Amino acid sequence: MKQRSLLRALACYYPKSLRDPGDFGGLMAGRIPNDVHKILLCLDFDDEVWDFAAKERPDLILTHHPFIFGTPAKVLKADPVKKTLYKKITANGFCVYSIHTNFDAGTPGMNDALVEELGLTNVRHLEGSTMARGGDLAAPMEVHDFARYAKEKLGVSYGLLIAAGKATVSSVAIIGGGGWFENELAQKCGYDIYISGDMPHHGRREVVLRHYNYLDLPHEIEHVFMAQMKKTLLLIDPTLEVVTIDHEKLPEVI
């Protein structure tokens, strides 16, 4: 597929206008070839992916999290490990391209995939949020039972539950990654529990004092990026070869 046609089609689903202010995305390293036939998908491109990429030889490596978050000169100067990998990428003719918060906000995007995994119905955008989605459970669940259900459905081995709100959960709001700060908005919109990740201590205290339910699940729930992006790419061009690597292992629970 022609590079220009591929990027134009991706922009229809995940336009740059949906990016958060201060986000970084687009071309990270190398040059996109004129013709793209094989694409490798991963959450992050790092040294753990290198051998797989070298074996597969994709025309394009498409990541969710930006390989370089900031200006290249500043990031590569501060991170010698990333600088070494950057040199290997360019020397071997690879190309790394990232679609980050515009994928989170886009449709079908990150948060659409998460609500689908949870089996929510009557799905809608969280009013006042560009990314978060909300929906209803098929049947009410006790809050601890729901936390265990969500952990299993989203493929992670642990979570942090604050059960300070309703004992029974019927409606759920969710955002992948570090969108914990929108939990108050979810509460105001009437959702029984909010799911996100990376919440600091002071945020947890605020949730407790507001008598709300919050489930902190690790950032790795965003591994749904690969399956969701693969669906989009094959809608754009069914002849594309799309390979994925889900290499990010969770820390051990002890």
- Model confidence over 20-76: pLDDT tens digits? 999 999 999 999 999 999 999 999 999 999 999 999 999 999 999 999 999 999 999
pLDDT band for 18, please (50, 70, 90 cuts).
very high
Mean pLDDT of 107-134: 97
Fold matches, 3-104 and 107-221: yes
Please determine, for residue 99, whether its predicted confidence score (pLDDT) is greater than 90. Answer: yes
Q: Has residue 172 got a pLDDT over 90?
A: yes
Spatial distance between the Cα atoms of 128 and 68, rounded to a whole number of angstroms? 29
The sign of the dihedral angle between the CA atoms of 88, 68, 112, 15 is: negative
Where are any strands of DSSP class E within the chain? 26-29, 38-42, 60-63, 96-98, 121-125, 133-142, 160-163, 168-174, 193-196, 213-216, 241-244
**Residue 182 binned pLDDT confidence (cut-offs 50, 70, 90):** very high
Reduced to 3 states (helix: H, G, I; strand: E, B; else coil), residue 91 is helix
Phi-psi region of 30 (alpha: psi -120 to 50; beta: other; left: phi over 0): left
Question: Which residues does 207 contact at the CB level (< 8 Å), separation at least 6?
Answer: 162, 164, 183, 199, 214
The Cα–Cα gap between 42 and 110 comes to 13
Boundaries of every domain in the chain:
3-104, 107-221
* Predicted structure pTM score: 0.95
Please name the residues in contact with 48: beta carbons below 8 A apart, sequence gap of 6 or more.
247
Per the prediction, the chain carries an average pLDDT of 97
Do residues 105 and 220 touch, judged by C-beta distance below 8 A? no
The CATH architecture of the domain made up of 107-221 is: 3-Layer(aba) Sandwich (3.40)
- Is the confidence at residue 107, as pLDDT, over 90? yes
The CATH number, out of the four listed (3.40.50.150, 3.90.1200.10, 3.40.50.300, 3.40.1390.30), of the domain defined by the range 3-104: 3.40.1390.30
Is the bond preceding 58 in cis, omega lying within 30 degrees of 0? no
